[in-house]
Structure 1
Amino acid sequence: MSLFKRLIPDLTPVSRIEQLRVCAGVLIGILLLGLIGTRSRDLMEGLPLLSAPLGASAILLFALPGSPLAQPWSILGGNMISAAIGVACARWIPEELIAASMAGTLSVAMMFVLRCLHPPSGALALMAVLGGPTIKAAGFGFVVWPVGAGSLAMLVVALIFNNLTGKRYPHLSKSAPVNRHKTSDPTPMERVGVKATDLDIVLNQYDQVIDMDRDSLEDLFRRLEMQAYNRRFGGMTCAEIMSRDVATVTPETSLRDAWKLFRQHHIKALPVVSGDHRAIGIITQTDLIKHSDWDLRTGFQMSVPQIARRVIRLDRKVGEIMTSPVQTARQDAVVAELVPRMADAGLHQVPIVDRDSLLVGIVTQSDLVAALFRGRGMIQAESRPNGRIPLSAVR
């Protein structure tokens, strides 16, 4: 029994809702494909309404939409190339067993070369050889119908269904992170923890096909780091570190009044709220400068208050220059979720909202630094018998 249990694959936990979503996608995809085939009987000339391997393609498209094996080029290129190789082998190799073996082998090799690996395509290569006289008589027409047309139809269904049900498809590779300061230094998050180069080295050492693209793996490791951080630092939430007495403005507030609040509270950002106190935007001192009538010849000779008095049209409204929508965080979100936003995305402050999107506070970079320092200090204190932290640990 122990060996039997070890043979059962340890699948990633999936909710019942996700299971139903996948089943619904497969049902709709195959059903629509069959209906298209039924309407096109005259064009098929005896070919099957459905190509059986497309059922396996449907599982990949709807259950694993982020997999590199389920991307548009993988299914369309893999299926049509493999079918063409199968037809060629059936025509030019008289011995059926050898023809089938060569078709399967060559299709896999070509899919590796063309970067369109798709497991069900191997079955199409064999189907072209072993599918019977009707398929053999169709020749390379089999590649167009039902393989090519069926693959394209299934792709269209997957594109619409996955995106409508909250699954991004196709899964486009993310662009490389860019240093906002336009220097050669890596971004802050790349300087600590798992680096992109570390992932590349491990993948080269692993040397196996992985049913997850590189971007998804990197995102998985980032989430793992965040989870480990939450466990170590006690899951400190935004509600614990945020400022609750927050100065705010509305879209109708004049820039003159906004500037007074900046100076009065010595702050650099003001959340913009609606009449029912929902966070709808944010205005910063940088926004004021960006929308001012800046004169390069005199600008460097003036301080920020002088710029505000002389070149900013203070009669304008906050709603004209505010950033909207604004990136917010829930008050029950863990502090670690703010680190990438402030480290790489360049945010200096994040408004905190409740479940109804009502503004309840704000977290600044200073709040985050203090929280991280506090968390590190607590861990070091707990790890020492006397609970004291040496001065060298906090310098």
Structure 2
Amino acid sequence: MQHPEPHGARSSRFRLFFPILAGATLRERLIACLGALIGIGLTGVISGYLFGQGPHLPLIVAPMGASAVLLFAVPASPLAQPWSIIGGNTISAMMGIVAAYFIRDPIIAIGVGVSLAIGAMSLTRCLHPPGGAAALTAVLGGPVVAGWGFLFPFVPVALNSCILVGLGLAFHKLSRRNYPHVAAKPVENSHQTRDLPSSLRVGFREEDVDAALDVLDETFDIDRADLSRLLRQVELQAAVRSHGEISCADIMSRDVIAIGEDADPDHARHLLLKHNIRTLPVKDREGRLVGTIGLRELSEGLNPIAHLLSKPAVAAVADPALSLLPVLTDGRTHAVIVVDADWRVLGLISQTDLLSAMARLLSIKDERVSAASGVSAKA
């Protein structure tokens, strides 16, 4: 009887066929397919409309297909940003034209053209893999490219690239994707002192990321700021997984001091001082949360409360308590409001509540370690 192979064996045998892009879901790939269909199709249509479709001018150059893969499939990549696509293709095509002009041997010219393209793109900070294909096209494009000479990098290469990027910007905006990709703003110390923000004082630091990149001695297709953000999220998810049994419902305060949006600002100030709290949930007439207010907002004048509201930080009762760490350590948020699906206030978790929960987790962990040590010693 034939026994089935272990999963690990199958994984090892077919590992070359596994997706290599992190976060590449089926939905993301389908969106990429649709984007490429629209982007490449309309780029050809618009280019043909502007400059005709005769044999004297290529309608659309082949490297645009590779650019579309990056633009629509991995829009967060540094290699897929607008300047990378436009600058990379245009500059590379120019390097190919220069190589073909001065070097008559096509074998030598293609090597020199691609080499010059990589160097020029690196110096101008627009590295774009399809640029290598643009350089090759400029060298080996035949009489059509030769006829256009030094105009070829601009028409059709730059023209195609600009149209494709413009369509990509519109498509990603409609599909609610972040493009051009902007790395998250570095966490700042809200107290405007030279200390690192509290969330960055524990765990790895930026110099650790630099040291790790030096040790690995490889180039990765990810923005350095995005890499740091990813690693910190990994740390958080590991902590949540290890202590996910504690939910917001377990540690939240249920007797929440709140106020209506039509209340008097002096009454809000009185409640904050009387109960020694820093965040006061504000409800509308139906009892739904509309914002929060604190002494900072109340100090901005005698405006009605409805005009002084801050955007509330919210969570659900079933959320892991430790998932609130990034919010409650950002230096601005002092409490998270726990709401139901209709945004009715169920509870509140302050920095003190979360700190107490973490202290309890640490004490439990110490007790377990001590108990395990005692068992080992007896054995």
d(CA) in 2 for partners of 1:97, 1:73 = 30
What is the rounded CA distance, in whole Å, between the counterparts of 2:217 and 2:294 in structure 1? 49
Other-structure match for 2:306: 319
Deviates more, 1:91-100 or 1:203-212: 203-212
TM-score (structure 2 length as normaliser): 0.89
For 1:226, the equivalent position in structure 2 comes to 236
Please give the alpha-carbon distance, in whole angstroms, between the structure 2 residues aligned to 1:5 and 1:369.
46
* 1:257 has 2:267 as partner: yes
1:356 to 327, 337, 342: 342
Determine the C-alpha separation between the residues in 2 that align with 1:235 and 1:80: 55
* Two-structure CA RMSD over aligned residues (Å): 2.2
2:197, 2:331 within 8 Å by CA — same for their partners in 1? Answer: no
Give the corresponding residue for 1:209: 219
**Is the CA contact (8 Å cut-off) linking 2:191 and 2:331 kept in structure 1?**
no
Residue from 20, 26, 33 that aligns with 2:43: 33
Residue 267 to residue 176, structure 1, CA distance change in 2 (3 Å): closer
Gap change, CA 1:80 and 1:173, over 3 Å in 2? same
Q: Which whole-Å CA distance do the structure 1 matches of 2:63 and 2:137 have between them?
A: 9
TM (norm. structure 1) is: 0.86
| 8 Å Cα contact 2:189-2:331 kept in structure 1 | no
> Aligned ranges for residues 132-281 of structure 1 at < 5 Å?
132-281=142-291
Read off the aligned partner of 2:110 and give its amino acid letter: A
Distance in 2 of aligned mates of 1:258 and 1:114: 56
Kindly state the Cα deviation for residue 4 of structure 1 after the two structures are TM-superposed: 4.7
Give the 3-state SS of the residue equivalent to 1:245 in structure 2: coil
- Equivalent pairs, count: 364
Per-residue Cα deviation, 1:115-142 (whole angstroms, up to 9, x for no partner): 2111011001001011111111111211
Shift of 1:369: 0.5
Q: Give deviations 1:6-62, integer Å, cap 9, x for gaps.
A: 433552353222121111111110111011122134387622211111111111011
Q: How does 1:97-116 map to 2 (within 5 A)?
A: 97-116=107-126
Find the counterpart in structure 1 of residue 64 from structure 2.
Answer: 54
Corresponding residue for residue 299 of structure 1: none
Contact 2:96 2:136 in 1 (8 A): yes
CA distance in 2, matches of 1:117, 1:14: 23
Q: In the alignment, is residue 382 of structure 1 matched against residue 368 of structure 2?
A: yes
Shift in Å, 1:181: 1.6
Structure 1: which amino acid aligns with 2:16?
A: L
What SS does the corresponding residue of 1:59 show, helix, strand or coil? helix
CA contact (8 A) 2:240 2:323 kept: no
Matched, 1:368 2:377: no
SS at match of 1:40: helix
**What is the aligned-residue identity percentage?**
37
Residue 335, structure 1, aligned to residue 321, structure 2: yes
Unaligned runs of 5+ residues in structure 1 are 293-312, 389-395
Amino acid at match of 1:110: A
**Aligned-partner residue type, residue 318 of structure 1:** I
From 127, 131, 145, the equivalent of 1:117 is 127
